[in-house]
Chain A
């Protein structure tokens, strides 16, 4: 588990992880970027991201129906807000 006690992931780590999965320069990972349309995430990349957030960072604040949600409109900023460490503002 890579997350601090209580779970969660900070902005820098999230951007780095998203850049690694998407094989993108980290500068392109901006809060308003759409995962699919702007960063080119396909369903395999989204699956990798889910596993990373849930298993490696212990994120428990994501919406329950990860498999059924519409990922088309999900931005990096939205994901950051959903994954913010408990008690830490975004």
Chain B
């Protein structure tokens, strides 16, 4: 027997759009305008991706001079293949930091070891010329922090470093970062043991305090993004 209450066959064509739908659509458009592209180019520093052509030069920088012992390789000289692989172990994002005007490469920044469940990751920042107090690297790191916090919902970033690398930015303690762990006599270098520090950069504090470092860089952008 036919069911006289069966629904009518669906009408062809798009469903009718209500006034509420229009309003909602307008809200979406407004919200979409708030989408900020994190700049990778500021007046002093620029971030650019690492390309295979950079490898020989970067490997040379990392395995010679002070950086060879003060940064991640700590005196070892991995093969070119091992070195290239180690560059990307656990890395989510990595950039070369260059001086905007000269294009000179001044350092590397990377986010690695991301723990998405708990909302934290690790930050690495290495300056090629360790003796200089040149602030361009700081602007590069600041842009990278904006990039990381803008692209991933992380609560905080940890930065592990031996205490002999700490004085380069110790003035930021309590303003941009905290020291959350200290391992006594953890690292052997230069003939003795050193403490290992774990700094923590919190998203909310960075956005409140650190944003001014990137704010200046972004507000006076010349030439747009990277």
Contacts and interface: CB of A to CB of B under 8 A. Distances in A.
B133 A72 contact: yes
Interface of A: 21-23, 36, 40-48, 50-51, 54-55, 64-68, 71-72
A23 B132 CA distance: 22
Contacts of A71: 133-135
A51 B99 CA distance: 16
Contacts of A48: 171, 212-213
A47 B213 contact: yes
A36 B132 CA distance: 11
B216 A43 contact: no
B124 to A, nearest CB: 16
Chain A interface, DSSP helix/strand/loop, else mixed:
helix
22 contacts: A41-B133, A41-B171, A42-B168, A42-B170, A43-B132, A44-B170, A44-B171, A45-B171, A46-B133, A46-B138, A47-B135, A48-B212, A50-B135, A50-B216, A51-B216, A55-B212, A55-B216, A55-B219, A55-B220, A65-B102, A67-B139, A71-B134
Interface string B115-154: 0000000000000000011111111001000000000000
Interface of B: 44-45, 99-102, 104, 132-139, 142, 167-172, 176, 212-213, 215-217, 219-220
A40 B168 CA distance: 10
Contacts of A55: 212, 215-216, 219-220
B171 A22 contact: yes
A68 B105 CA distance: 12
A71 B142 CA distance: 20
B174 to A, nearest CB: 9
Contacts of A65: 101-102
A64 B222 CA distance: 14
Nearest to B214: A51
Contacts of A45: 171
Nearest to A50: B135
Contacts of A21: 171
Nearest to B217: A51
User: Across chains A and B, which 9 residue pairs bring their CB atoms closest together, nearest first?
Assistant: A67-B136, A47-B135, A47-B138, A67-B44, A51-B216, A44-B169, A55-B216, A45-B171, A46-B135
Contacts of A36: 133
A67 B170 contact: no
B1 to A, nearest CB: 80
Contact of B172 (A44, A50, A54, A68): A44
A66 B139 CA distance: 12
